[in-house]
Structure 1
């Protein structure tokens, strides 16, 4: 038996592939178009890698015909909010059109196989589809309304609706998951944590949008991957499962925590790294707060995050220190998402 993972060479996709192959009972088909943030080195050697674009219906049909997966994890997506501000059409094409083509290819394969009840299509999404929470609002749950505020989150929201519609209309066994901000090893350095680590070590300013008070739930990537595996084993078609730590931290708190650990492990003779923090003009449409209530996933899937926030940051920093060339790969930290006035 085999499992197909799209976006497999990405940050979360590769973490999932590593855990699936470590379990060792099924072949992992790792599909990725190898966009700018992909990394083949993050994939386990046991995975069967296929370079393909999910917008290519012919390529997808060939993959299904050859490998006959019993389940699909759909993680292929453009993910960086700032890039979506600059190039929204790319997000529409990859996140919406790509999801449509994958759903259709899956539906054709599933139908040809006699519509097996045990087949699963796991659509992996984000908490950003729910928009911004007020300070006193309860955290997101599966019943939270959709209020996307960026081209990225809007494209992911549309993909969520497509996935659910393919179950309601065609019966495809779809499960939707939404996760909070992931962090950990192998993350492309445009994201907050690896970007801060890279800039701090280079002695460059550490830019923080607005007042640094935007709050996020931070989830270690291996904990998220474990949750996705629990969905495959125990999730119900039509269900929605939210993965998060259940703990929120402001961006300023995150950056200060990184600086404090770097002060211990790689001290800068000029002074503490926190001196480099610089507040910059906020991003357009920047959501103030995200929070996840993961209690349903904990009960229904017998899942819970294992990694303490401080331990996760320590592991992330140590990995970046041990892989200095990764931090500098084809990305120099230039700001994106600026709208000319």
Structure 2
């Protein structure tokens, strides 16, 4: 992913037989692994996948690390937006995390799949595919001798925020990892579009891991009422839910990059006018008044078309404060 990182490449099939130990304690670089590609959320629910690959780039912190315990450090995975990994966006979080003593795991869902453009290309990638990628990358990273598998957190921007948020749902985690106990220890999604929940009849709604959601008040992908309704739906099924949110009133989508001037992008995919969609064990729509209705692909496609577009732009307050909140949250929940 990054030319400044020592080169390394393996092919790891997460769905196949147990792989031989791929890492030494000093292994860094970019590691490619087999990862299914899902055309849409329905395909994920039914297990209908196409073959694909993703990669994770591993950076290790300088030692001794303040996060070290029994010779292993905590780690934070970074999920990228639908624009792909960019040094001015996802890349700005690598150095602060390394400085704080974390290993950093940078995902790439596009390069190994040959995706060049996705933000304004409907169907280029379904957001559930990166979620699956992240959980498979977690399985891979957990085998690294320098990383504590019980202390791996995940953050992400926009689509990467969806990756961070949706990987906290137990229905999703079990679909990807089966009976494994492996899970992310903490989640910090940045401006994750508010759209979906995942019910889990007969089991917990989430993995139980804490989550800090960071939102912008001028971001059309995160209408506050809908975002809070999603949390309420999850909390109704799990009263002890450890999720919290912080809002930056004047922040747009993609707030950390000074090169991004505030502007409305009319062709970008958005779901703000759609009902909350449950893609878990109970496929359904949930209206603002709480009424449940059968899922309709035609209605979903129609409301997605009507919702297109959202504003992006640098927001100094959020750009300065969000990394501090993220680091403080991980310091609390990934501590030795």
Q: TM tier, shorter chain?
A: 0.3 to 0.5
Q: Which has the higher contact order (CA 8 A, sep 6+)?
A: 1
Larger Rg: 1
Q: TM-score, normalised by structure 2?
A: 0.35
Per residue, is there more strand in 1 or in 2? 2
* More helix per residue: 1
